[in-house]
């Protein structure tokens, strides 16, 4: 099992998840369907193809596990395990605070019923979809588990054969009085190449099954990138509620929370999710949105049923107009970029910024505190107008979106050879009915909660900057 010290060392390479760098048995080849520097509808003259032959090297020989993306308290957690050895250990840890309840282990057990089930993996060549329809190895009662984010570690004593997974125990009923955090399970799975492909590899998937483990790096580096932020939020935000983007994409809440909190990268959401946001917030509602990442609400996904009754829905994301088979008859339901002319729902119209720059053309760029930032955001931070948060815009960042009435907290001008300079931005905006929205515009933002001097400033200064933002959003803190 990993120690806290080893977890910190791992955090130094968190970006492998977003860069597509595999730290396991094989490295996927990545499709060039991302990374342009302008927020256009079509990012390639010729959209990349999809489907193809399976890369069996991306089925690692480890103690692998997958389970439901989320459960309610008291529901059984079904673990499906494939192990190269009969003996293995399962440890489940709650990663969030609840009042005086600290993060910690809620379950650990040594088992002797391990079976190598990799031979049961199926592959759909048309859509490049891998599935691990393994039978349930055993189930665990969650009767005493409070809502929060939970991680699973499986292993047999050989470090290279450890597996990891993540799930959420959901709040049983959404309260109007408290904010709701949605873990971005769909984005984790979009980048997950376990079994042979992801939405970014060659072969390129256009349908992603949640019936499969994560490649170790997919959840380790994706989750750890925002783990310190989630733990801090759960400790300091009063009454924080929990769900996933998967659940919000299946069905909108019947009661709106006081605020929706999004993490590092909520890139893939359904029409159901986006319709709810546009009703509940933006210019039509009063729900606050706190988006602590970048590239949010980028692609509309839709769901298809899994192969077995009761299995998780499968995420469909063709991305490029003209590729989704339902596009001809149901263009508004098709799984395309929200900013495409077919959907015409640019994410910046809601958030005030939208994705525009990736690691392919984004050097580490510092954010400059804007000259007209309201003083309330800087109170107690030690920061001044003109102060720099160094290299805050890295790997991915958002451009300012016109005509949304944003207030600039910080900006940077990105100048790339052959292109007109564009403004990277961290913003707040207020909708026509009073909804307050914060958009970090930076993939790195949440990592500031883990460092001692994030972005060249003290951690205390960065944390106070964030608490001032939460206060502006009317999110109550301990």
pTM for this entry: 0.91
The predicted structure's pLDDT at residue 404: 85
**Cα 363 to Cα 10, 70, 390, distances in angstroms:** 23, 37, 12
According to the model, what pLDDT value does residue 224 have? 83
Buried b (16+ CB within 10 A) or exposed e, 248-261: bbeebbeebbbbbb
Structure confidence by residue, pLDDT tens digits, 189-238: 999 999 999 999 988 999 999 999 998 656 556 788 899 999 999 999 99
- Who's near 321: CB < 8 A, 6+ residues apart? 41, 42, 327, 334, 336, 337, 340, 341, 342
Provide the pLDDT for residue 307: 80
Cα separation, 265 vs 272, in Å, equals 18
| Residues across the chain | 478
Q: Copy the structure tokens of residue 428.
A: 């707040």
Cα radius of gyration rounded to whole Å, the chain: 21
Cβ-contact 9, 221 below 8 angstroms: no
Q: What is the reported pLDDT for 20?
A: 34
Q: Encode the chain in three state secondary structure.
A: CCCHHHHHHHHCCCCHHHHCCCCCCCCCEECCCCCCCCCCCCCCCCCCCCCCCCCHHHCCCCCEEECCCEECCCCCEEEEEECCCCCEEEEEEECCCECCECCEEEEEEEECCCCCCHHHEEEECCCCEEEECCCCCEEECCCCCCCEEEEEEEECCCHHHCEEEEEEECCCCCCCCCCEEEECHHHHHHCCCCCCCECCEECECCEECCCCCCCHHHHHHHHHHHHHHHHHHHHHECCCEEEEHHHHHHCCCCCCCCEEEECCCCCEEEHHHHHHHHHHCCCCCCCEEEECCCCCCCEEEEEECCCCCCCCCEEECCECCCCCHHHHCCCCCCCEECCCCCCCCCCHHHHCEEEEEECCCCCCEEEEECCCCCHHHCCCCCCCCCCEEEEEEECEEEEECCCCCCEEEEEEEECCCCCCCEEEEEEEEECCCCCEEEECCECCHHHHHCCCCHHHCCHHHHHHHHHHHHHHCCCCEC
What are the boundaries of each domain within the chain?
4-61+157-472
Report the pLDDT value the prediction gives residue 221, as an integer from 0 to 100: 60
Flag residues of the chain having pLDDT under 50.
1-25, 32-42
pLDDT of residue 31: 52
CB 338 within 8 A of CB 349: no
- Decide if 314 contacts 208 (C-beta within 8 A): yes
pLDDT of amino acid 35: 37
């Amino acid at each position: 099992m990993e120690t806290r010290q080893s977890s910190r060392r791992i955090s130094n390479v968190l970006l492998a998840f977003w860069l597509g760098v595999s730290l396991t048995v094989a490295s996927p080849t990545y499709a060039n369907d991302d990374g342009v520097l302008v927020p256009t509808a079509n990012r390639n003259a010729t959209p990349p193809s999809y489907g193809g032959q399976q890369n069996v090297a991306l089925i690692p020989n480890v103690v692998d596990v997958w389970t439901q993306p989320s459960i309610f308290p008291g529901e059984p957690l079904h673990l499906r395990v494939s192990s190269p050895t009969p003996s293995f250990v399962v440890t489940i840890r709650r990663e969030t605070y609840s009042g005086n309840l600290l993060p910690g282990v809620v379950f650990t057990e040594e088992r002797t019923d391990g079976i190598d089930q990799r031979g049961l993996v199926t592959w759909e060549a048309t859509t490049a979809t891998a599935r691990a329809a393994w039978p349930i190895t055993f189930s665990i009662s969650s009767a005493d588990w409070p809502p929060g984010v939970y991680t699973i570690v499986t292993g047999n004593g050989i470090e290279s054969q450890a597996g990891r997974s993540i799930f959420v125990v959901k709040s049983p009923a959404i309260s109007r009085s408290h904010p709701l955090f949605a873990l971005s399970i769909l984005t984790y799975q979009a980048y997950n190449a376990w079994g042979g492909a992801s939405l970014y590899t060659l072969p390129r998937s256009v349908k992603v099954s949640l019936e499969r483990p994560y490649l170790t790096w997919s959840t380790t580096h994706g989750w750890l990138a925002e783990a310190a932020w989630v733990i801090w939020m759960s400790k300091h935000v009063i009454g924080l509620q929990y769900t996933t983007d998967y659940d919000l994409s299946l069905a909108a809440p019947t009661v709106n929370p006081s605020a929706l909190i999004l993490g590092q990268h909520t890139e893939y959401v359904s029409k159901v999710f986006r319709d709810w946001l546009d009703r509940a917030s933006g210019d039509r509602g009063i729900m606050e949105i706190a988006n602590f990442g970048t590239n949010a609400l980028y692609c509309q996904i839709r769901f298809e049923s899994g192969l077995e009754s009761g299995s998780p829905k499968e995420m469909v994301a063709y991305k490029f107009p003209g590729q989704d088979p339902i596009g001809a008859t149901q263009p508004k339901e098709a799984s395309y970029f929200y900013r495409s002319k077919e959907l015409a729902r640019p994410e910046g119209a809601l958030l005030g910024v939208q994705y525009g720059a990736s690691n392919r053309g984004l050097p580490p760029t510092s954010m400059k505190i804007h000259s007209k930032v309201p003083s309330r955001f800087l109170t107690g931070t030690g920061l001044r107008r003109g102060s720099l948060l160094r290299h805050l815009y890295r790997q991915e960042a958002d451009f300012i979106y016109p005509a949304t009435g944003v207030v600039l907290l910080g900006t940077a001008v990105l100048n790339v050879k052959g292109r007109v300079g564009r403004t990277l931005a961290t913003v707040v905006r207020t909708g026509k009915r009073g909804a307050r929205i914060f958009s970090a515009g930076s993939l790195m933002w949440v990592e500031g909660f883990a460092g001692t001097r994030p972005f060249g400033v003290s951690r205390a200064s960065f944390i106070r900057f964030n608490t001032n933002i939460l206060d502006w959003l009317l999110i109550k803190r301990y």
